[in-house]
Structure 1
Amino acid sequence: MPWLQIRLATRPDHSEILEDALLLAGCKAVTLIDTDDKPVYEPIRGTTPLWEHTTIQGLFEEDVDVGQLLSLMDSVIAANQLSVASISTEILEDKDWEREWMDNFKPIACGDRLWIVPSWQSPPDPGGVNLKLDPGLAFGTGTHPTTFLCLQWLNDHIQAGDSVLDYGCGSGILGLAALLLGADRMTGIDIDPQALVATDNNAVANGIAPNRYLVTTDAHELEQHYQIVVANILAGPLCDLSDAIASYLKPGQPLVLSGILAHQADAVMAAYSQTIAFDPVVTLDGWVRLSGRRK
């Protein structure tokens, strides 16, 4: 059915009052978005920041009295002396939202042989290495520059028989891609138990035998060394865990790091400077991939 959408452009410190008012008025869903489209990529630890200019977006059933709703919001704004730059409403047409969502995801080429392919689409290259992966939860799907950069590296470097550690595995996309590219075995570790479920489901969807991979939240289950270690997390954890991550490599073996903004690259490399000799930095859309070998 169609929905009425209301949007209020405000300040972050005024958003909670407006959100409560919308919900009391019968709003079915409230979303906070960045008015200026300036995402917060890696907030300061221990904080949950909102943007300097925040837009509150609410959905109501189509038959809501728009005049009454706007009058109510005007009263709330005046009574609380809130700063609201603009208020707008529109009717969202009834659509097949699932189909529209699915149409947004296309197969992604990650080099000369690796493709990430949504399960409902046919592989563009049936003879290539096709990893079936559906968007879901808050884990990697190959669309983010950091994931894409890591997949490109794996496409170019994985050799038959490699053992791979996917540190912070999320959906398992990197480790599972390595297996399809010819790696012998993969271990994925993550602090979120849901990552284990996501990786298992993706392994089953791609016909990967259970004896070829292990996914765990317990570092004690990891092997002493791997031939390749890849970690696509965030700059802060990469720095904090530098000694632990590098310890899983013998001299001469490669490390791949991502989840790093361009201005963070020097700090991350400095954290690994005693153990890793880095290759030239690779950048995509403001994000970087660092790769190198254990000294």
Structure 2
Amino acid sequence: MPWLQLRVDTDRDHAEKIEDALLFAGAVSVTLQDNADQPILEPGLGEVPLWEQTRVTGLFDAEVDTSVTEAKAASFLCEMLPNARWEQLEDKDWEREWMTHYKPIQCGPNLWICPSWCEPPQPDAVNLLLDPGLAFGTGTHPTTFLCLQWLAQQELAGKSAIDFGCGSGILGISALLLGAERVLGTDIDPQALLASRDNAQRNGIDPERFPVYLPEQMPSEAADVMLANILAGPLVELAPKLIQLTQLGGKICLSGILSSQAEQVKNAYSEWIEFDPDGEHEGWVRLTGKRVR
């Protein structure tokens, strides 16, 4: 089905109002994008930040009358749309187009993360088949890659682990495929729990080996390995809880941390953890160590 898109370049203060105007004018979807290469790396709690220069794009059926549509959006705003332009969108199967951007990723000598629709490049390796469509965690982000690299180097046979903020389940499932006996997953997003269950089933993991819970339903049993790839702020705030859930002598792997935040996170755990040298990739840091007290 052919589509038209209406692009409007605006600023942070007007972006949401223009989004509402395009929806009022009949857009089937609206996206907001950075229009000046301005990174937003970690929003504050409860914040929904926008870029200083924002591009708002509305998707419309190709049969719409563009003049009428613009006029309807302008009537909602009580002014003309600023910097607006129409573009024809190439006719593709957009529901499947995003899949072309995911390729198998090697995270260790014997560990690959493979999109579920791809043939594993190394069939005899540990191949985690992943559908990244439901929740965050594909192995492409530096924080996830750093955690997978670390996992691939660990002796996990017979060990228990916790995947705190499990997302797609990528870390917990990798730990199980690498020999862990049981992994407990938790996430605040019910969609993430669904994705973790689906990906575990896709990889032949018995549900009893990878139970997943909302945080308030999570058992309080401590594990041999703690995996927490979230963000620096929550890692600092949750330090006492994550330590409590890590057995004495157990290992901990923390990520989602910018280089500038590493010392702050270390300080929150230094009372209990003897840290290894930091792992770093593209400005992101992985902190690992052993619980010694």
> Structure 1 residues 256 and 74, CA, compared in 2 at 3 Å: closer, same or farther?
same
Give the aligned partner of residue 168 of structure 2. Answer: 171
- In structure 2, what is the Cα distance between the partners aligned to 1:196 and 1:24? 34
Post-superposition offset of 1:284: 1.3
What is the letter of the counterpart of residue 5 of structure 1? Q
- Matching residue of 2:58: 58
One-letter identity of the residue aligned with 2:44: I
The equivalent of 1:271 in structure 2 is 268
Match for residue 41 of structure 1?
41
2:89 maps to 1:92? yes
Map 1:246-261 to 2 at 5 A: 246-261=243-258
Give the alignment's TM-score, normalised by structure 1.
0.91
Secondary structure at 2:149 match in 1: helix
Letter in 2 for 1:59: L
Aligned to 1:182, the other structure's residue is in SS state coil
State the match for 1:154 in structure 2: 151
Deviation at 1:172, TM superposition (A): 1.4
String of CA shifts for 1:198-225, please: whole Å, max 9, x gaps.
2221111111123322222256753533
How far is the alpha carbon of 1:173 from its aligned partner?
1.1
Q: How many angstroms apart in 1 are the aligned matches of 2:97 and 2:133?
A: 15
Partner in structure 2 of residue 116 of structure 1: 113
Partners of 1:151 and 1:227 lie apart in 2 by 17
Match of 1:32 in 2: 32
The alignment-based identity, stated in percent, is 54
Q: Which moved more, 1:221-230 or 1:178-187?
A: 221-230
What root-mean-square deviation, in Å, do the aligned CA atoms of Structure 1 and Structure 2 show? 2.2
- Distance change (3 Å), C-alpha of 1:56 and 1:278: same
Contact 2:135 2:191 (C-alpha < 8 Å) held by counterparts: no
Query: Which residue matches 1:12?
Result: 12
- Residue 10 to residue 280, structure 1, CA distance change in 2 (3 Å): same
2:229 paired with 1:215 = no
Match of 1:205 in 2: 202
Alpha-carbon distance between aligned partners in 2 of 1:220 and 1:67, rounded to the nearest angstrom: 53
Which residue of 1 is the match for residue 286 of structure 2? Answer: 289
Letter of the structure 2 residue corresponding to residue 53 of structure 1: Q
Please state how far the C-alpha of 1:43 moved relative to its aligned partner: 0.8
- For the residues of structure 2 that align with 1:224 and 1:265, how far apart are their CA atoms? 27
Q: Is the 8 A contact 1:158 1:178 kept in 2?
A: no
Give distance in 1, aligned partners of 2:18 and 2:103.
37
Q: CA deviation at 1:250?
A: 3.4
- Matches of 2:22 and 2:192 in 1, distance apart? 34
Structure 1's 6 and 225: CA in aligned 2 closer, same or farther, altered over 3 A? Answer: same
**Unmatched segments (≥5 aa) in structure 1:** none
**Alignment partners' CA distance in 2, 1:197 and 1:255:** 25
Q: What residue in structure 2 maps to residue 134 of structure 1? A: 131
Aligned length: 292
Aligned to 1:241: 238
The residue type paired with residue 171 of structure 2 is L
Runs of at least 5 residues in structure 2 that lack an aligned partner in the other structure: none
* 1:181 CA displacement: 0.5
Counterpart code for 1:250: Q
Contact kept in structure 2, 1:189 and 1:219, CA below 8 Å: no
Which residue pairs with 2:21 in the alignment?
21
The residue type paired with residue 58 of structure 2 is G
- In 1, distance between residues paired with 2:217 and 2:35? 45
Q: TM-score, normalised by structure 2?
A: 0.91
Identify which range, 94-103 or 120-129, moves more after superposition.
94-103
Contact preservation (8 Å) 2:147, 2:255: yes
